[in-house]
Amino acid sequence: MPFHVQLVVTLITGSVVFCLVLGLFGFLSYKNQQTLPPAPLFPDSKFPCIFSYVYTICFGIIFAMGSIHSSLLQGTNSAVDDNLATFCINALYQIALYIPFLIIYMRLPSRRFSSTAGQKMLWVLGFLLLMLIPGMVLESMKFSEWIAEQTGAPLLQDVVTTIKDGSIEIKIAMIVMAVIIAPVTEEVYFRGFVYNILKLWTSPVPAAIASSFFFAIVHASLTQAVPLMLFALIQCWAYEKARSLWLPIVLHMIFNATSCLAILFLLD
């Protein structure tokens, strides 16, 4: 097994353990101090918190196992199947696993915001600029190339290669997943559940670090792990700013759409 694959597998496993230990530590701390538990995960929700906790943990483990499997196949011909039917089946399977999270979140009581449309637009533009700066700095430093040289990891993710060189049907399907579906499902899970649960039992900073590390490394790319973690940290801040997932989801959509355009038209 190549060194970079061993490293990815170790980091994925470590990220899951890190999140579990952090949450357990927070829970035991509250219990030992005999203080009042934090407010319910989703106040006024008809779904019990215990279901949200258990399903979040189980999904995280399944997600991590899937990422480990992808990392083991990384660089092989079977890493990304260029068959539309197979891709759609895999995509539908992933979406089905996200459905409980979407149902719980969509059934929450509606929230009213005092911010105007102009303020929301400024938030979007400001956070997009904030996201671009770390990426531009790391790109100017050739950070990804350095990680690839040090670890032997592929410079590009298999998904990037497929969007660039795959069949037109696969390109369209993957772009739809990346620009529309993934921003919704990933934000609901990572910011709506993982970050929120850890924040309830610890505090925002360690929760943001743990959930962002998990988000970054399950993408199974060493060269993109640091940029993705910075992206996730900014998303946690955006979530706190808006007090809703609308801002992280919009930012995620625009970011992924920009990345897809860059892959199609600028990547050599």
pLDDT higher at 42 or 139: 139
Whether this prediction's pTM lies above 0.85 is answered by yes
Q: How confident is the model at residue 251 (pLDDT cuts 50, 70, 90)?
A: very high
Torsion of CA 102, 106, 107, 109, to 10 degrees: 140
Q: Token match 């934090």: residue?
A: 38
Q: Is 102 exposed, middle or buried (0-12, 13-18, 19+ CB in 10 A)?
A: middle
Cβ contact 206:198 at 8 Å: yes
Averaged pLDDT of the chain: 85
Share in percent of the chain as helix, strand, coil (round to 5): 80, 0, 20
CA distance 22 to 25: 5
Q: Return the beta strands (E) in the chain as ranges.
A: none
| DSSP character at residue 109 | P
